Structure 1
Amino acid sequence: MRRAGPAMLLLLPFAAGAEPSVSKSMEPEERAPEVRNWGNLRIGGAVGGGDGRPEICGEFAPLDFLSIEGCGSGAGILHDEAVNEASHYRVKLRLLRFDAGPLLLEPVVGVGMIELQVGKDDVGFRFEDVGPRGVETAGVEAMGGLRALFPVGAGFELVGELALGVGYTPEAPQLVLPQPEMPVFGAMTVGLGF
């Protein structure tokens, strides 16, 4: 047994360079926490009713698959200028969720109300006429879109959305600046959510 000690010292340099043994744990891998978007604020561009101002969207999701959203130029809230604008107020339903690397992709559909205005906004919504000044009317809309979420940590995510839709505003041709009865619209917005 005395001779085994010095022989072990000769093996020490080989042991120092050896790789540690690899063992696989039978425990499941820890999953990343599920991303839950409670709300977001986005800004971007829109086509189909507007004067080129940025479109601002605020969205609140009381349920994981259901949200309430408002989009527009901010007329009457952020500024009081007479603008040509289409604003949208809708309920959206998330259909699915796909992992695409670090992104989460969510197809969405929505229904709601569209308001067209071609001058300074009056209080309220006019569904059956264009008002005494002939500058606004409202109707219904349907939309579809694709939302992308990119988690950035601490419960926040970058949010992007591409949306397309169509409205039905039967009084729109009667506006002082006539608009189509069935306005088609699209928007691409990006922002921050939590």
Structure 2
Amino acid sequence: MVSKNELQDILRKRYGINKNVSRPLSEAECERLLDLLEREPSALKLVESFSRKNAELGRNNAALGRRRSQAERKLETLSSEYAELEASIQALEASKVSLEKHKKQLEQEKQQLETEVKVLSSQTIELSDKVESLTTENTTLVEANDQLKRDNKALKNIVDAIKLKLARDTNELLKYEDSEIRKALIRLFKWTLG
């Protein structure tokens, strides 16, 4: 018996499905997904596409996170510098003009960095929404695929029932005489046509 953790490892190694993605699945669902991917090339292509997109979004998100961290550190540094300059302005009235210029420059840089942090935060949210949307689409497609399988099985049962009825009726027809065969054929065609 294979554990859920082992199934998740197989899904990750063979199909690139991250454990964070397969974590909400039960052990049975992991087994069904593995079976589906081994039997259905279209489902495999879809999962591979989602995995590539998820990896790309993850890399982009990590890069944005690093940039945001750098910007926040730089913002903290600049904020600290700004506070020091405020104290220096009070102590050094003689160099007030020079310090005012430097202060304005730091304020502009601070605003630019705050704007950049907001943009990066917005991009991170958008990427998270895209990942969530892709996960939802994947779930919807898997459910649609399951429904199609159920529909195909139901159609096969109907066709099998029709074949069985035709076989029985044909067998009965072979027992009748000519005029009875015609009547039976008419009944059979009426039944077949609805």
- TM-score tier (shorter): under 0.3
Ranked by relative contact order (alpha carbons within 8 Å, sequence separation 6 or more), the top structure is 1
Give TM-score scaled by structure 2 length: 0.18
Larger Rg: 2
